[in-house]
Chains A and B, each alone.
Chain A
Amino acid sequence: MRRTRLRGAAIGLLAIGLMMLLVACGGSDNGGGNTSTGGSAGASTTSSAKKVGMALVLPCGSSDPWCNQGFNAAQKLASEGVVDLKVTTGAPQDTAGASQVIRQYAQTGKQLVVAYSTWADATNPVATKFPKTNFATFGIKPTSNVALFDEPIYQGAYLAGMIAGGVTKSNTISGAAGQDVPLCHAEMQAFEAGAKRTNPKVKQLTTYVGDWNDAAKSQQAILGQVNRGSDVVLACGGAQATGMAQAIKGKNVTGFGYVSDTSSQAPKNIAGTVIYDPYPYFKKMAEDTQAGKFQPGKLYSFGMPQGGVKLELNPGYSVAKIPASVKAEVAKVQKQIMDGSFKVPYVPTGSGGS
Chain B
Amino acid sequence: MDWGAIFGGSGLTVLFSSAVLLAMPTALAALGETVCERAGVLNLGLEGMMLSGALGAFLGAYYAHSPVVGTLCGIVVGVAMGALMAFLSVTLKTEQVINGIALVLFAQGMTAFLFEQLFGGEKQPTIPGIPDLKIPLLGSIPGVGPVLFDQNALLYVSGGVALAIWLLLMRTRFGLSVRAVGERPEAADAAAVDVARTRWTALLICGGMAGLGGTLLVIGDLNLFQPNITGGRGWVAIALVIFGRWNPLLVFSGVLLFGFADALQVQVRAVSGGTTTAVPYELFQALPYIVTLVVLVTATVVARSSAQPAALGIPFHKDGGRS
* A interface list, Cβ under 8 A from B: 1, 4-5, 8-9, 11-13, 15-16, 19-20, 22-27, 30-31, 34, 60-65, 68, 71-72, 75, 89-90, 174-175, 180, 185, 188-189, 192, 204-211, 213-217, 219-225, 227-228, 238-239, 242-243, 246, 260-262, 264-265, 350-354
Interchain CA distance A223-B21 in the complex, whole Å: 12
Interchain CA distance A208-B265 in the complex, whole Å: 11
Chain B: minimal CB distance from A144 (Å): 33
Query: A12-B95, A262-B123 in contact; A223/B275 too (CB < 8 A)?
Result: no
Interchain CA distance A211-B262 in the complex, whole Å: 13
Among the 9-residue stretches B161-169, B176-184, B225-233, B289-297, the one with 4 or more Cβ atoms under 8 Å from chain A is B225-233
- In the bound complex, residues from chain B placing their C-beta under 8 Å from that of A222 are 270
- In the bound complex, residues from chain B placing their C-beta under 8 Å from that of A11 are 88, 92, 94
Interchain CA distance A89-B112 in the complex, whole Å: 9
Interchain CA distance A26-B123 in the complex, whole Å: 20
Is the Cβ of B275 less than 8 Å from the Cβ of A189? Answer: yes
Does B221 interact with chain A (Cβ within 8 Å)? yes
> Which applies to chain B's interface (DSSP): helix, strand, loop or mixed?
helix
- In the bound complex, residues from chain B placing their C-beta under 8 Å from that of A260 are 123
Does B134 interact with chain A (Cβ within 8 Å)? no
Is the Cβ of B323 less than 8 Å from the Cβ of A5? Answer: yes
Is the Cβ of B274 less than 8 Å from the Cβ of A216? Answer: no
Chain A: minimal CB distance from B27 (Å): 14
Does B117 interact with chain A (Cβ within 8 Å)? yes
Contact residues of B between 80 and 129, Cβ < 8 Å to A: 88, 92-95, 98-99, 101-103, 105-106, 108-110, 112-117, 119-126
18 A-B contact pairs sorted by A residue (CB < 8 Å): A1-B320, A4-B93, A4-B323, A8-B92, A19-B105, A19-B106, A20-B102, A27-B113, A30-B120, A63-B116, A63-B125, A188-B275, A206-B273, A217-B262, A221-B270, A246-B221, A264-B126, A354-B276
Which of these, B22, B124, B273, contacts A63 with CB under 8 Å? B124
Chain B: minimal CB distance from A191 (Å): 8
Interchain CA distance A75-B120 in the complex, whole Å: 12
Contact residues of B between 170 and 229, Cβ < 8 Å to A: 217, 221-224, 226-229
Interchain CA distance A262-B224 in the complex, whole Å: 12
Is the Cβ of A221 less than 8 Å from the Cβ of B315? Answer: no
Is the Cβ of A265 less than 8 Å from the Cβ of B285? Answer: no
User: Using an 8 Å CB-CB cutoff, how does the interface string of B13-27 with A read, 1 for contact, 0 for none?
Assistant: 010001001100000
Is the Cβ of B266 less than 8 Å from the Cβ of A220? Answer: yes
Is the Cβ of B263 less than 8 Å from the Cβ of A204? Answer: no
- In the bound complex, residues from chain A placing their C-beta under 8 Å from that of B306 are none
- In the bound complex, residues from chain A placing their C-beta under 8 Å from that of B269 are 207-209, 221
- In the bound complex, residues from chain A placing their C-beta under 8 Å from that of B231 are 211, 213-214, 216-217
Which of these, A62, A221, A225, contacts B121 with CB under 8 Å? A62
Interchain CA distance A214-B323 in the complex, whole Å: 42
Is the Cβ of B119 less than 8 Å from the Cβ of A63? Answer: yes
Which of these, A15, A185, A206, contacts B99 with CB under 8 Å? A15
Query: A4-B323, A11-B94, A219-B222 in contact; A192/B275 too (CB < 8 A)?
Result: yes
Closest to A33 in B: B117
Is the Cβ of A12 less than 8 Å from the Cβ of B99? Answer: yes
Chain B: minimal CB distance from A197 (Å): 15
Query: A180-B277, A188-B275, A213-B226 in contact; A25/B123 too (CB < 8 A)?
Result: no
Query: A23-B108, A63-B122, A265-B126 in contact; A15/B94 too (CB < 8 A)?
Result: yes
- In the bound complex, residues from chain A placing their C-beta under 8 Å from that of B98 are 9, 12-13, 15-16
Interchain CA distance A264-B223 in the complex, whole Å: 13
- Extra A-B contacts (12), CB below 8 Å, given A31-B116, A264-B126: A15-B99, A16-B98, A19-B102, A19-B103, A19-B109, A22-B109, A71-B120, A188-B275, A206-B275, A215-B222, A228-B5, A264-B123
Chain B: minimal CB distance from A184 (Å): 10
Query: A23-B110, A261-B123 in contact; A61/B116 too (CB < 8 A)?
Result: yes
Does B10 interact with chain A (Cβ within 8 Å)? yes
Does B271 interact with chain A (Cβ within 8 Å)? yes
Is the Cβ of A243 less than 8 Å from the Cβ of B222? Answer: yes
Is the Cβ of A8 less than 8 Å from the Cβ of B263? Answer: no
- In the bound complex, residues from chain B placing their C-beta under 8 Å from that of A180 are 277, 281
- In the bound complex, residues from chain A placing their C-beta under 8 Å from that of B101 are 16
In the complex, which of the residues B114, B120, B126 has the most CB atoms of chain A within 10 Å of its own CB atom? B120
Closest to B225 in A: A63
Interchain CA distance A261-B124 in the complex, whole Å: 10
Which of these, A61, A72, A220, contacts B226 with CB under 8 Å? A61
